[in-house]
Structure 1
């Protein structure tokens, strides 16, 4: 029987929401092994003037516990 754990991570990118999600997984993978999935819970953006300057995501990362 596998035991899974879920953590919540906030990440950002100047490029896209997809890049922010990838960044969250890459950063989490530095200390967490056996990542199985990522769920984008919400996303938002920072606007300056009439341009989006930063994309933000709130993700839930699921990993298997040894």
Structure 2
């Protein structure tokens, strides 16, 4: 039986929500091992002068505790 833990991570990108998600996983993987999945819980964006300037995600990252 595997024991899994979930952490919540916030990340941003000036390119896309997908890029922000990848950044969240990359940053989390520096200190968390055995990442199994990522769930995008929430998306938002900042607008500057009528254009989207930043994409933000709130993700839940699941990893196995050994």
What TM bracket, shorter-length normalisation?
over 0.9
How many residues are aligned here? 66
CA-based RMSD:
0.3
Q: CA deviation at 1:13?
A: 0.2
TM-score, scaled to structure 2: 0.99
Where does structure 2 lack aligned partners over 5 or more consecutive residues?
Answer: none
Residue deviations 1:8-64 (CA, integer Å, cap 9, x gap) = 000000000000000000000000000000000000000001110000000000000
Q: Name the residue aligned to 1:30.
A: 30
TM-score, scaled to structure 1: 0.99
Moved over 4 A (4+): none
Q: SS where residue 15 of structure 1 aligns?
A: coil
